[in-house]
Structure 1
Amino acid sequence: MINIKPKEASAIINSLISGVVPKMGVQHITVGRSEEINAFVLSLEDVKNGQSLVKFWIGDFGSGKSFMLHLLNTVAMKQKFVVANADFTPDNRLYANDGKGLALYSAIMDNVAIQTKPEGGALPTLMEKWIEQVTSKTSEENNIPVTEIRNDQYQKLISANIMKTINEITEVGGFDFGTVVIKYYEGYINGDDQQCRNALKWLKGEYKTKIEARQDLGVREIINDQNYYDMLKNFCKLFVSMGYSGFMINMDEAINLYKIATSTMREKNYEKILTIYNDCFQGKVNNLFINFAGTKEFLENERRGLFSYQALKSRLETNKYETAEIRDLAQPVIRLMPLDHNEIFVLLKKLREIFNSNYKVEIDISDEDIISFMEVIFNKPGASEFLTPREVIRDFLNIMNLLRQNPHVDKSCLFGEIEVSDERPKDDLLDSIEEL
């Protein structure tokens, strides 16, 4: 029996029926990824010890890349990492001069998560925790009783310690970063919620003009397309100074970088990936773990993918001695192999149990019924070419839902109505776009 919380069961069923990866509970439905997870845990130990890493999770559409990133989150949070997720979109990218890089940064900071707040939105919690740490340290160093350290007369002393700590851990933008954190501290101590909101707005990159930020917070600069990566590195150092193991950032849907129409802008984004890659592997940044998830085209296409940028191609080419049986999971690129039929069978059995737990029912679906369902769906025309685990899961849960609400319906009739379609995104215009 799966030991699962009702909140997790609900998140799993509702998300998977909707065709998206659940934000919580993914460990309950993990099958066939033990080698990848074991290698990832070893990598986390390296990052805990001060190294930084970049990994590329490559797989076909619907093969489980997004699921894998969510699973990595769960594992990393248990190892006391701060984690964050963001998807690349047409309006979110690594390099831009029109706010799209800042939009990616804001998405990352919005989704900051820790084990006690796994759904995201943990930045205020982290800031308050850090301020409490600085306050306690100030109390201890100056022999001021903990019961008195929050009095008005000691605010300047704590503010000075905040700025001192910030200066020790930051390289770029430290003064304004420290000033904003002090503003957050003052708002936090004095119960000024608006000042706290303004400080968080700055830290999350939501100020559009320097004038507005100066009026609200008295700072000279704002986070923008050019400096947001430096701010991510500053936050990484801050989290580690608080006692966390490191900062892990997951960026999904990297195919949207591949889709950038102009070769110049696409190259600038790949250049940013190269900068991050070199920073991490050359020791220019510590305790940072960045994961990219994308398709084989995003990686290998010689005209539009990462392999179109020679410096990245030379770094990301697969170990030439690797085979399907002998894998190198220490290299930067991890290829996600499709789940085999046995693994999908185990997965569907788990989903049956979670579904029954969520709705407090016992749907009449036996192991033999699951095998019949799989035989039907995998033998449909187009299955070998188009069928993905996502579609198998959604069809299975949809049938479970119908049987829950209509117990008299014949299961075999529902199985017979299954159709397989090509769920891959249609990019009819992609190859016809003129390179500029």
Structure 2
Amino acid sequence: MTSITGRDVEHIFESLRKGLVPERGIDTFAVGIEKQRNELHRQLELVGSHEGSIKFLRGGYGCGKTFMARLALLDAQARGFATSFVVVSDNDLHFHRFDDVYRKVMTELGTASCPRGALGDILDRWIGAVEETLVNAGVDDTADDFDERVRKRLNEDLVSLTGGNAPEDFIRVIQTIFDLKQDGNVVDAGALISWLCGSGNVAASAKKVAQVKGDIGSRDALHYLRGVLEIVKAAGYKGLVIVIDEAETILRMRKDSRHKSLNGIRQIADAASSYPGLLWLFTGTAEFFDTRHGVAGLTPLHDRIRFISSGGFASLRQAQLELKPFDTERLKAVALRLREIYPGQDRSRLESAVSQEFIERLVANVTAGFKGDVGIVPRQFLREFVTQMDLVEENKDYSPAEQYGFKPTELSTEEQTVLSGTNGNRESKDDELVPTEDAW
């Protein structure tokens, strides 16, 4: 088990108490997913060697898709990548508008040292690297023309790195940000960084400084992402990993939005190899991938990423990486790991009260509460397990073996479906195939 800070431990248990996947420290209780994790490590090696790639995590509710995606980002940051974690939403993220996707990617852009909104820090690191390169080449950093030399080198690097394909506004805004920072105008520089991140709330006065009008549009967003990717690499990072979580949300969108969103994924998949250093990682349910109102309804995309199995075996290296449901032994193993890192004052009492025998009983009781479906219980089980450890920690007279009783609470839609015994498959009244025209 890797070392973990006290702050991360607190974050883990606070997240689990709320039924959420922690954002840090999750490798300490990642069990039973070694093969899938190794495949994602292989993907990181590919993009780290200047390849562009896309991967799809496939699994039912409770299989740990979000957990696996979060773990992939932590592994990526540990290997020197910048990352971004985006959740598909029909409220604040319309996936059929790529300017919306770009804005969320940039908002969630992070590194090991800067968890969110890291573009400003990345730009500073890149500018610092350019300055260091010039100084090492013998240029006097106290000379009057040093800033102009740096500015010229930044422009040359941008044109070279992007193959001359970066939008003119992109290059001009980068140059202006550098000039403003050198002049000490951090307010306008910050405003232009926000504009570069896709914000639509930047004052016209700040945009006027860089001679740009309007905001980044849907058709230009991929080109801006290419420019950001190259800056990320020029700043010393190996590349960029973008997670698009809960892609199945697209199935709940209106027909026109759903069609455009699926076409958007097709365009990303088609272009992935032309973005060296970038890994796209989508998560989705089998319904999203296999039904006619999902990926299977868009033949060009389905043909490229379809899931293939033979005799119950599926290659980890195909486009879709399958995550298996939890089983009893895996739940027990996770519980033991969590008990090991729980920040309790009386370790011997915790291990005695929350014994392996009690853990086995808890697994059985929670599973029974969901009609024996082990795969559906991880969220409820982990929340219940942490609650039992909290009760032991807070109350000297509390005995889980004598006083524990489980009843499912705050059920998700999927959990309600299991308990009700109804068919969870959504019947689509509009089962038309997805049109093949470009969306963006």
TM-score (norm 2): 0.87
**Residue 352 of structure 1, aligned match among 317, 339, 344:** 339
Q: Give structure 1 stretches of 5+ with no counterpart.
A: none
Contact between 1:86 and 1:108, CA under 8 Å: does it hold in 2? yes
User: Does residue 1:419 correspond to 2:408, yes or no?
Assistant: yes
Letter in 1 for 2:148: K
Distance 1:366 1:105 in 2: 48
The 5-angstrom pairing of residues 20-169 of structure 1 reads 20-90=20-90, 91-96=92-97, 101-117=98-114, 119-141=115-137, 143-146=138-141, 148=142, 153-169=145-161
- For residues 98-134 of structure 1, give each alpha carbon's deviation from its aligned partner in whole angstroms, at most 9, with x where no partner exists: xxx33322221122122223x3232221110001112
Contact between 1:261 and 1:435, CA under 8 Å: does it hold in 2? no
SS in 1 for 2:274: coil
- For residues 284-322 of structure 1, give each alpha carbon's deviation from its aligned partner in whole angstroms, at most 9, with x where no partner exists: 2211100001111111121x2111111112122222426
Letter in 2 for 1:145: D
SS in 2 for 1:271: helix
Contact between 1:382 and 1:421, CA under 8 Å: does it hold in 2? no
The 5-angstrom pairing of residues 210-225 of structure 1 reads 211=204, 214-220=207-213, 222-225=215-218
Relative to 1, partners in 2 of residues 1:237 and 1:354: Cα closer, same or farther, differing over 3 Å? same
Distance 1:187 1:369 in 2: 62
Q: 2:230 maps to which residue?
A: 237
- For residues 401-423 of structure 1, give each alpha carbon's deviation from its aligned partner in whole angstroms, at most 9, with x where no partner exists: 22222231231354323337852
Contact between 1:54 and 1:289, CA under 8 Å: does it hold in 2? yes
Contact between 2:47 and 2:239, CA under 8 Å: does it hold in 1? yes
SS in 1 for 2:354: coil
Distance 1:212 1:53 in 2: 39
**Residue 167 of structure 2, aligned match among 160, 163, 174:** 174
Worse overlay, 267-276 or 201-210? 201-210
Q: Offset at 1:212?
A: 5.6
> Percent identity between the aligned chains?
21
Q: Offset at 1:64?
A: 0.8
**Residue 196 of structure 1, aligned match among 185, 189, 192:** 189
Distance 1:414 1:212 in 2: 65
SS in 1 for 2:231: helix
User: Does residue 1:271 correspond to 2:263, yes or no?
Assistant: yes
Q: 2:18 maps to which residue?
A: 18
Q: 2:314 maps to which residue?
A: 327
SS in 2 for 1:233: helix
Letter in 2 for 1:226: R
Distance 2:410 2:373 in 1: 11
Distance 2:361 2:371 in 1: 18
Contact between 1:61 and 1:388, CA under 8 Å: does it hold in 2? no
User: Does residue 1:336 correspond to 2:323, yes or no?
Assistant: yes
Distance 1:105 1:322 in 2: 40
Relative to 1, partners in 2 of residues 1:84 and 1:253: Cα closer, same or farther, differing over 3 Å? same
Distance 2:166 2:216 in 1: 9
Q: Offset at 1:216?
A: 4.4
Q: 2:420 maps to which residue?
A: none
Letter in 2 for 1:182: Q
**Residue 292 of structure 1, aligned match among 279, 282, 288:** 282
Distance 1:114 1:272 in 2: 26
Distance 1:405 1:114 in 2: 37
Distance 1:94 1:416 in 2: 43
Distance 1:301 1:432 in 2: 10
Q: Offset at 1:180?
A: 1.3
The 5-angstrom pairing of residues 387-406 of structure 1 reads 387-406=376-395
Relative to 1, partners in 2 of residues 1:432 and 1:73: Cα closer, same or farther, differing over 3 Å? closer
RMSD (CA atoms): 2.6
Distance 1:368 1:354 in 2: 19
Worse overlay, 401-410 or 229-238? 401-410
- For residues 197-233 of structure 1, give each alpha carbon's deviation from its aligned partner in whole angstroms, at most 9, with x where no partner exists: 1121111110358956632432246312222122112
Q: 2:300 maps to which residue?
A: 311
Letter in 2 for 1:36: Q
SS in 2 for 1:350: helix
Q: Offset at 1:65?
A: 0.7
Q: Offset at 1:193?
A: 1.6
Q: 2:356 maps to which residue?
A: 367
Q: Offset at 1:275?
A: 1.2
Q: Offset at 1:24?
A: 0.8
Distance 1:251 1:433 in 2: 27
Q: Give structure 2 stretches of 5+ with no counterpart.
A: 418-423, 433-440
Contact between 2:102 and 2:197, CA under 8 Å: does it hold in 1? yes
Distance 2:302 2:431 in 1: 20
- For residues 363-408 of structure 1, give each alpha carbon's deviation from its aligned partner in whole angstroms, at most 9, with x where no partner exists: 2311122112122222335242873211111111122222222231
Contact between 2:332 and 2:360, CA under 8 Å: does it hold in 1? yes
SS in 1 for 2:317: coil
SS in 1 for 2:22: coil
Distance 2:403 2:54 in 1: 45
Distance 1:316 1:411 in 2: 47
Distance 1:56 1:414 in 2: 43
Task: Give the number of equivalent residue pairs.
Answer: 419
